Amino acid sequence: MNFDVIKALILGTGEPTVTVHKEKNIKRKMNVGGTVAIVTEPEDKMYRISFFKRRRLGDNSSDAFGYK
């Protein structure tokens, strides 16, 4: 992810979602006996714009819901 990709997401000029693939991601997993194992696995992460707690205005600014 770089500035141009994030800018395209916000302005809506590019793809609506961007998927980033990481070949090695460190994770903690619980084993059956309650012990924790550290493993390295590949991961795909999806980025998208979400405005669940804010509303967008016409000039690409935003206000919180309930703001008067």
**Tens-digit pLDDT string for the chain (68 aa):** 889 988 888 888 888 899 999 999 999 999 888 899 999 999 999 998 877 778 878 887 888 877 76
Instruction: Give domain status of residue 30, yes or no.
Output: yes
Instruction: Give domain status of residue 3, yes or no.
Output: no
Instruction: Report the predicted TM-score, pTM, of the whole model to 2 decimal places.
Output: 0.59
Instruction: Give domain status of residue 9, yes or no.
Output: no
Tell me what pLDDT residue 57 has.
Answer: 81
Q: How many domains does the structure of the chain reveal? A: 1
Q: Which domain holds residue 44?
A: 19-68
Instruction: Give domain status of residue 11, yes or no.
Output: no
Tell me what pLDDT residue 60 has.
Answer: 75
Of 24, 4, 22, 15, nearest to 49 by C-alpha is 15
Instruction: Give domain status of residue 1, yes or no.
Output: no
Instruction: Give domain status of residue 64, yes or no.
Output: yes
Instruction: Give domain status of residue 49, yes or no.
Output: yes
